[in-house]
Structure 1
Amino acid sequence: MTLLDRLAADMRLMFRRPPRQQYAALCYRFKKKTGEPEMLLMTSRDTGRWVIPKGWPMSGKLSHEVAAIEAFEEAGVRGTVETEALGSFTYPKVLKDGIKVPCRVQVYALAVTELAKNFKERGERKLEWISFSEAAKRVHEPELRDLILMFQARMADALAAGAPPARSMP
């Protein structure tokens, strides 16, 4: 197979294949002093873009459980994960061979209650706790931006209605 034939086959496969599925956690907490909500963003290992923890399906694990596991492995956070997805977004995943394939990422809210000092990908990414508005500015995917802003509005409505925060963090 010539290089041109391989590229043509890869392109056909890329456009024919349904999006690959991943699961992600939108990690949030409330500042102890002010009670303001904030969310966690981290950089990707390859491009340094701002992203949320996400990963591939795991055998024997439900999608929201995968999101929680990825949040711990990639960012060292644990907490209570919602079992119903907030929504999803798509992005072009660049595979090891350089081929881009569409990925659909189902996102679950995770109320952070614990920050670990040691976790699998410690030191491989930059982590920042920031406002939802700032997070929406930093991410590249428009659908993820919309999810962040929708979740921010949901949090504001819950706080206005007097719903207590899940648990305050420093």
Structure 2
Amino acid sequence: MSKRFRRTKVREQFGAVPYRIGSDGRVEVMLVTTRETHRWMVPKGWPIKKLGPLGTAMREAYEEAGVRGEGGPPIGAFDYLKVMRKGPNQICEVEVYPLLVREELEDWPERAERERRWFLPEEASNAVQEERLQAILMRLPKSLGRGT
């Protein structure tokens, strides 16, 4: 094996799947655009030790999407390639938590850098590129005990 071969370390992140129950009783999911590539994604970020996994996910939902609410136990994980501004790109695995949105702010830290939008789970699944995240979004209503 070449000395130049290096294993790529998978980095851990935590994310939120902000959701609400629409007036028709169906689950709706909020996605945000990424800053660099403007792809649709769930709010996510690097661990914040003092907040723990769920607290980190909730903080990211506030900073990136301008939402606050009630978090629940993790509903899955997905991986993606994070394009780094400096240094090599990183493979990240994101553990995701549902976040029942109770407050949608008009102003939030990353408002000028991102777009946010509500989707039905199937639409959200079609909007993201990561296969494991697509599956999480498709099964979200069932994960929440709201049928298929």
Please say whether Structure 1 and Structure 2 have the same fold, judged by a TM-score greater than 0.5. Answer: yes
Equivalent in 21, 24, 38 of residue 30 of structure 1: 21
What SS is found at the alignment partner of 2:55? helix
Query: CA separation in 2, counterparts of 1:154 and 1:138?
Result: 20
The TM-score normalised by the length of structure 1 is 0.80
* Correspondence 1:21 to 2:12: yes
Single out whichever of 41-50 and 115-124 deviates more from structure 2. Answer: 115-124
Q: Which residue identity is paired with 2:34?
A: S
Mapped to 1, the partners of 2:53 and 2:142 lie a distance apart of 24
More helix by share: 1
Aligned pairs (5 A) from 1:153-168: 153-155=142-144, 158-159=145-146
Q: 5+ residue gaps in structure 1? A: 1-7, 161-170
- Bigger-Rg structure (1/2): 1
CA distance in 2 between counterparts of 1:109 and 1:63 reads: 12
**Which residue does 1:168 correspond to in 2?**
none
Match of 2:61 among 62, 71, 74: 71
Q: How many residues align?
A: 145
Find the aligned partners of 2:83 and 2:146 in 1 and give their Cα distance.
Answer: 39
Is there any run of 5+ residues in structure 2 with no aligned partner, and where? none
* SS of alignment partner, residue 110 of structure 1: strand
Instruction: From 86, 89, 94, give the equivalent of 1:105.
Output: 94
Cα distance, 1:89–1:159 mapped onto 2, change above 3 Å: closer
For residues 1-170 of structure 1, what are the structure 2 equivalents within 5 Å? 12-13=5-6, 16-31=7-22, 33-82=23-72, 84-97=73-86, 99-155=88-144, 158-159=145-146
Report the residue type matching 2:91 in the other structure.
P
What is the CA-CA distance between 1:123 and the residue it aligns to?
2.1
Q: Secondary structure at the match of 2:146?
A: helix
TM-score after normalising by structure 2: 0.91
